[in-house]
Amino acid sequence: MSCNLPYLKLCNRTIETQWSWISWIFLLLLFVLPDMYTAILICVITLIETWVVYELYNAREYAKKINEK
């Protein structure tokens, strides 16, 4: 997800808020689903967390470049 500068903070908060809710749902599913699905769910959580961190890092780097100009 790429963000324009005026909406950079809003976009970061949206990503963080969405991930926060999704991660809680996934964590609850870990306790409800049978054992054979927990490994798959852990992999999905890890992949999504990696993507969220990557997007937030890119947004921060983009903001730094804009502020240097």
Q: Which two tokens stand for residue 4?
A: 């324009």
Q: Which two tokens stand for residue 13?
A: 């908060």
Asked if residue 13 lies in contact with residue 24, where contact means CB atoms within 8 angstroms, the answer is: no
Angle, to 10 degrees, between the axis of helix 35-68 and the axis of helix 8-32? 170
The predicted-structure confidence for 15-58, as pLDDT tens digits, reads as follows: 667 777 887 888 888 888 888 888 888 888 889 888 888 888 88
pLDDT at res. 12? 57
pLDDT at res. 1? 45
Q: Give residue 62's pLDDT band: very low, low, confident or very high (50, 70, 90).
A: confident
